[in-house]
Amino acid sequence: MFEIYKNKNILVTGHSGFKGSWLCAWLTSLGANVRGISLEPSQTQPSLFKLIGDEICQDSFFADIRDYPLMEKLIADFKPDCVMHLAAQALVRESYANPLDTFSTNVMGTANILEACRHLEKPPAIVCVTTDKVYHNADWAWPYRETDPLGGKDPYSSSKAAAELVAGAYRDTMYKLKGDHGPTLATVRGGNVIGGGDWAEDRIIPDAVRAAQSGTALSIRNPDAVRPWQHVLELCHGYMALGEKLLSADATNFVGAWNFGPSPMEVVPVHELVATLKKSWTDVDLEVEFGADPSMPEARYLTLDISKSIRDLRWGPALTVWESIQLTADWYNAYFESPEQAVKMTYAQIEAYTKKRTVA
């Protein structure tokens, strides 16, 4: 699986984050030459990147993607075959507190990466990661398709929708100015990601981990909210499957936007996710309290139509939501035992998931 990445130069922005760490670990295990660019991981909480250490990629650069001269130099020096752009300000609550940072990182940071790629002599394949929240959310129960209108009422969602527009401008206009040999670009709109090694603020699983460790109650602000939960390995597999197509001879057939999410029957509300997580943890007591937070208006429903990815990309989820929750619980159980066990669990889960995909 994914033999195409062996010995290829793969640039991953946001490599020190939760998804970026899993993606780099997987790519490196495939024999790819991985260069990472991101801000330094938080010094005040654990991080999967710190746990795995030097194994995660060939080299790391801790830099701000809003620094265009530096991005241009780092990308030109590396000459990537493929760029996986994950770097972002990815937290909704943080976007309310610091909207300007959110817009500048998610919009201009994306433009900087795409502009630097425009000047490469050998055009790379580019997978630009946004979010399921780029859609104009009408709060209906029907899943959103790639052709549905973009929107976003909060700074995070609107900045990611704007990043989609930036990517579209480069894909449809700026890259075409280079003729038939410009970069091939696709955007990915993924669902709510769960998995081991996430310690971000204001996310359901990390919040549950911190509550369990501290013996405090987990506060759930919107227990009936329905979200497209999926394991981080599902999304990483989707990124690599799309990158593989963009590196192929018929790459132009795969430019555009793609939804990656769970099967429609696998979408569950927050309170079911938490209840299942509690049952899956061994020797961990988690108290839960429910209460709405009026300062954080949220849509009740958000689901994705993944039929295009299934039909054209031959990508589909391999895990049920319950399997995804169990894998997440297994990782944190290993971490509660010791950080070293969590590192082993990371690679064991990548290997097991790969085998599951191969058999399927």
* Torsion angle (degrees, nearest 10) of CA 222, 228, 234, 240: -110
| 316-328 b/e (C-beta count within 10 Å ≥ 16 → b) | bbbbebeebbbbb
Least confident of 103-107, 148-152, 203-207, 331-335: 203-207
Q: In this structure, how many other beta carbons lie within 10 angstroms of the beta carbon of residue 271?
A: 15
Q: What are 67-123's pLDDT values in tens digits?
A: 999 999 999 999 999 999 999 999 888 999 999 999 999 999 999 999 999 999 999
pTM of this structure: 0.94
Q: Facing residues of 220 across strands?
A: 290
pLDDT score for 60: 94
* Cα–Cα nearest to 155, from 113, 204, 85, 97: 97
Domains parsed from the chain with CATH numbers: 6-195+229-263+298-323 (3.40.50.720)
Q: Which residues contact 290 (CB under 8 A, 6 or more apart)?
A: 219, 220, 223, 271
pLDDT at 141 over 90: no
Summarize pLDDT for 158-203 with one digit per residue, the tens. 999 999 999 999 999 999 886 666 899 999 999 789 999 998 888 8
Q: Which DSSP helix (H) or strand (E) runs through 239? A: helix 232-246
Distance, in Å, from the CA atom of 18 to the CA atom of 15, rounded to the nearest integer, reads: 8
